[in-house]
Structure 1
């Protein structure tokens, strides 16, 4: 399937017909598919990566944001169905880790094969993560939260129009994850890998270990230098770790023009 046939929910920067498996990526709260675009030149050639594009941002700016985990999971599972004709894995960062977990559970309910592995970062397991109330606070508090993580430059938030647009979908994302209650399902029948930043207050070594309850297989944890967004400066190292955990031989792809703009 080319990008034109993937629909609104998925983005694929590069088609790799000979890839051994697909890696489906789920961004953090406030994040978008573009955050994973650099991975096309870092992941092993044997992996084709596809990223979920949440509504309300980037090329889906005019689409209404989704603030319900159940709705989001159903929509993503519908979109992924045609791509699950071979081995696949799921990767989620922060809020995306919970979405990836719930999508794995939903795909199992629908009778699809299990993912080769669930890979997560930046958040304790759904059954252990602490829910906040950021979505109930004013715009100032929400903007401060974004600035605290360094995910959005302060000069962007200083522009009234950009600030209003960004805070609109970010608030929906926070509402989704802060009102989310995990499904009481059986552990997944696939291994789970957890990546975390050594200085991340949201997910340290102890938080990473909580994911052991989500799988019937041994848990793999890997620490990286950095904070909550360690995966930006440590992209290359993380790509190597992902290839290792997925059992795909590491060979950087030849740099080519992407298949879509």
Structure 2
């Protein structure tokens, strides 16, 4: 097995494969999340879209690997794993922490002279330039559990199980450290269309903070506001899949200008 294939298989999960697809979508999970979060998306978009879900170390089948508490380091390694994927148009989707990693991944594609993503989807995350002094990763396990409960993205039964918590807490804390210590580099912009998705009741992202993604690309921007909190994706999955289909399969085009805002 070549080093390139080995790196790809370490980081990427496909469920199911879509060999006859016309476009590829790389999906990056939230803090504490795993590739399996996107398997339902992959199933819904197949066979038109080849969905690649990124698996961070420290969880599921990579649970014995050390966590990486750095957004740039995560982006560097993911880029090394996927940079050879040049046979299909490529789009990026990241939720919460995943949106920040996807942004850094897109910048690395530009720096390497590779084709820019045909579309970048930023979900459940304020723009990189909109900083908050969050320090959840420095809190106690109880404080972190309280944060997870507030965001409603982790199974309540899992949070109530001490043995399971002991297994997943290192990865969660590492991810929070990565995103909370991330430093945005001013002046750098994407050159692709950006679709921003956010919940209208997200305690971690205001609509204004989500709209600020417009300043991070020279391409057109749209903002979709859905009912729900930080994990609106779960409750609004039908509408989100429809949006992905519209943008990736039907390839509807955004026009430059002020971001189009749609409240669902």
1:35 aligns with 2:30: no
Structure 2 partner of 1:7: 9
- Kindly report the root-mean-square deviation, in angstroms, between the aligned alpha carbons of the 2 structures: 1.9
Give unpaired runs (5+ residues) of structure 1: 251-261
- 133, 139, 142: which one pairs with 1:140? 142
Contact 1:44 1:248 in 2 (8 A): no
User: Offset at 1:246?
Assistant: 2.8
1:176 aligns with 2:187: no
Give unpaired runs (5+ residues) of structure 2: 253-264
Partner of 1:196, secondary structure, is strand
User: Offset at 1:157?
Assistant: 2.5
Contact 2:31 2:175 in 1 (8 A): yes
TM-score by structure 1 length?
A: 0.89
Give the Cα–Cα distance (whole angstroms) in 1 for the partners of residues 207 and 175 of structure 2: 25
User: Offset at 1:14?
Assistant: 1.7
Encode CA deviations 1:63-113: one digit per residue, 9 max, x unaligned.
111101121111000001122332000000011110100000011112211
Give the Cα–Cα distance (whole angstroms) in 1 for the partners of residues 207 and 160 of structure 2: 35
State which drifts further: 137-146 or 153-162.
Answer: 153-162
Give every structure 1 segment of 4 or more consecutive aligned residues whose post-TM-superposition deviation is greater than 3 Å: 3-6
- 57, 60, 80: which one pairs with 1:58? 60
State which drifts further: 48-57 or 35-44.
Answer: 35-44
Greater RCO (CA < 8 Å, at least 6 residues apart): 1
Contact 1:44 1:249 in 2 (8 A): no
Contact 2:16 2:43 in 1 (8 A): no
Contact 1:102 1:183 in 2 (8 A): no
TM-score by structure 2 length?
A: 0.88
Partner of 1:180, secondary structure, is coil
Structure 2 partner of 1:238: 240
What is the aligned length?
248
Give the Cα–Cα distance (whole angstroms) in 1 for the partners of residues 161 and 199 of structure 2: 31
Give the Cα–Cα distance (whole angstroms) in 1 for the partners of residues 249 and 188 of structure 2: 25
Structure 2 partner of 1:90: 92
